[in-house]
Amino acid sequence: MSDASASRDHTPLAERLRPKTLGEVIGQQHLLGDGMPLRIAFESGQPHSCILWGPPGVGKTTLARLMASSFDAHFITISAVLGGVKDIREAVEQASVWQGQGGKRTIVFVDEVHRFNKSQQDAFLPHVESGLFTFIGATTENPSFEVISALLSRTVVYVLQPLSDTDLQKIVAKVLREHVLPAIETIATEARDRLVAYADGDARRLLNTLESLGVAAAGEKVTEVTDAWLLKVLGQQMRRYDKGGEQFYDTISALHKSVRGSDPDASLYWLMRMLDGGAEPRYLARRLIRMASEDVGLADPRALRLALDAAEVYERLGSPEGELALAQCVVYLAVAPKSNAVYRAFNAARAFIKNDGTRPVPLHLRNAPTKLMKELDYGKNYRYAHDEEGGFAAGENYFPEGMTAPEFYRPVDRGLEIRISDKLKELKLKNNQQD
């Protein structure tokens, strides 16, 4: 493309540079390298339904489009953000027409598939099952939680990774090599490094930023992007933002440790440092929920509810109004009594299960909805706790037979767990009296 034609092309830079062949794809070599799963799928010539799971700007849409071209298939795109059942119905009708014509296959690509509800996702099942079309879903969320199990069972999940700094540097080099930003001839090393750090593994963010620089460079007749000019054009956002870098993780670590250490002022300081630096408030909300479970726990169960409420308030109000709810939450978590007893119990139980065999459920704990199960003694001799004195079946065993009862959960002597500890001691005493 000539400089003149590039300047007249209003197509976004990210779209102009979208790879046209598999060989042009940068990154995802764990899937696209020789002998890797997606490479094998492309070379087989046989499309299969799949879900592409990864963060924004890592090539999910690109790979879906390349599959369509590689397999010589019709390509239908549905945005789960904007679309609905009507779009699904239209895709089915169009695929049926093409199938009736005996022509090419059809690939239906659903972007942000996690935004479709269960009934909308259900609508794809019979057509994926019948082979009317190949289904490709793209999601930034864990499909185990956001995609219905029936659809998951009919697809292969491919996990895409954020692009590495090396991958992003290759994209910058490609932009310069192909002269798609006519005004910019060179980008200084320091500026390249800052652009890559800002992109945080997201190729689209990198290309959008470069496109903005191209417009500014053309206006100011600048041919070299220096670090100083870059900061001048993009301001504090570029200077402060370090998401994904060492400083980002050091700062979130400082926030977490300040909350754990019960210092509300330090906790507020690090929270505001992150917000001021461009950290995603939703990410911070998730971390606060984690802190409520890991470090406060049952010493103050209200902390978890408050953290969930803060996250919901942010979703409703956005920035900057919703950030006050996050600040309120972080102060509450800092001053709340602390307990990691549930966190330690969770890890202990998980480790035990991982190393232990699969023990059968005792007969008295099994449900018996059928006559046969009752004849096999399912549920026999089970003691219904509500019918026992104090609502507690003293001496009853709820572990597999022959298993020594472990003590995963050991409450601390802080907050509500003081009362929980007293309750457990009382129940243990009643159990011992039955022995």
Q: Does position 294 have pLDDT exceeding 90, yes or no?
A: yes
Q: Does position 242 have pLDDT exceeding 60, yes or no?
A: no
Looking at the structure, tell me whether residues 218 and 320 fall in a common domain. Answer: no
Looking at the structure, tell me whether residues 79 and 170 fall in a common domain. Answer: no
Reduced to 3 DSSP states, what percent helix, strand and coil does the chain have, rounded to the nearest 5?
Answer: 60, 5, 35
Structural domain contains residue 236: yes
Structural domain contains residue 59: yes
pLDDT > 90 fraction of the chain, expressed in percent and rounded = 57
Q: How far is 85 from 115, CA to CA, in rounded Å? A: 12
Q: Does position 8 have pLDDT exceeding 90, yes or no?
A: no
Domain that holds residue 374: 359-434
Residues 162, 201 contacting (CB under 8 angstroms): yes
Structural domain contains residue 13: no
CATH number (domain holding residue 202): 1.10.8.60
Looking at the structure, tell me whether residues 283 and 302 fall in a common domain. Answer: yes
Q: Does residue 320 have a cis peptide bond before it, meaning omega lies within 30 degrees of 0? A: yes
**The predicted structure's pLDDT at residue 4:** 42
CATH number (domain holding residue 305): 1.20.272.10
Mean pLDDT, range 23-40, rounded to an integer: 92
pLDDT band at 141 (very low <50, low <70, confident <90, very high): confident
**The predicted structure's pLDDT at residue 30:** 93
Q: Does position 50 have pLDDT exceeding 50, yes or no?
A: yes
Looking at the structure, tell me whether residues 112 and 130 fall in a common domain. Answer: yes
Specify the amino acid at residue 323. E
Question: What tens digit of pLDDT does each residue of 81-137 get?
Answer: 888 888 899 999 998 988 888 778 899 999 999 999 999 999 999 999 998 999 999
Structural domain contains residue 341: no
Mean pLDDT, range 367-385, rounded to an integer: 89
Structural domain contains residue 16: no
pLDDT band at 171 (very low <50, low <70, confident <90, very high): very high
**The predicted structure's pLDDT at residue 217:** 93
Q: How far is 75 from 82, CA to CA, in rounded Å? A: 18
Q: Which residues contact 184 (CB under 8 A, 6 or more apart)?
A: 175, 176, 210, 213, 214, 217, 222, 223, 224, 225
Residues 62, 18 contacting (CB under 8 angstroms): yes
Q: How far is 127 from 76, CA to CA, in rounded Å? A: 14
Q: Does position 241 have pLDDT exceeding 70, yes or no?
A: no
Q: Does position 145 have pLDDT exceeding 70, yes or no?
A: yes
Q: Does position 261 have pLDDT exceeding 90, yes or no?
A: yes
pLDDT band at 236 (very low <50, low <70, confident <90, very high): low
Looking at the structure, tell me whether residues 80 and 180 fall in a common domain. Answer: no
Looking at the structure, tell me whether residues 46 and 113 fall in a common domain. Answer: yes
DSSP classification of residue 359: P
User: How many domains in the chain?
Assistant: 4
**The predicted structure's pLDDT at residue 434:** 79
Question: What tens digit of pLDDT does each residue of 413-430 get?
Answer: 999 989 999 999 999 898
**159, 192, 220 - which closes a domain:** 159
**110, 135, 159 - which closes a domain:** 159
Looking at the structure, tell me whether residues 64 and 105 fall in a common domain. Answer: yes
Mean pLDDT, range 340-345, rounded to an integer: 94
Mean pLDDT, range 221-228, rounded to an integer: 92
Q: Does position 246 have pLDDT exceeding 70, yes or no?
A: no
**The predicted structure's pLDDT at residue 289:** 96
Looking at the structure, tell me whether residues 177 and 120 fall in a common domain. Answer: no
Q: How far is 195 from 178, CA to CA, in rounded Å? A: 18
Looking at the structure, tell me whether residues 41 and 127 fall in a common domain. Answer: yes
**The predicted structure's pLDDT at residue 5:** 44
Q: Does position 146 have pLDDT exceeding 50, yes or no?
A: yes
Structural domain contains residue 5: no
**The predicted structure's pLDDT at residue 9:** 57
Mean pLDDT, range 56-61, rounded to an integer: 92
Which three-class secondary structure state does DSSP give residue 80? Answer: coil
Q: How far is 319 from 203, CA to CA, in rounded Å? A: 25
For the ranges 40-54, 191-205, 229-243, 261-275, the lowest mean pLDDT is seen at 229-243
Of 226, 300, 304, 296, the residue nearest 259 (C-alpha): 296
**The predicted structure's pLDDT at residue 2:** 44
Q: How far is CA 79 from CA 88, 110, 148, 428, in A?
A: 10, 6, 18, 56
The answer to pTM > 0.85 is no
Structural domain contains residue 320: yes
**The predicted structure's pLDDT at residue 104:** 81
**240, 265, 299 - which closes a domain:** 240
**The predicted structure's pLDDT at residue 11:** 84
On average, the pLDDT of the chain sits at 89
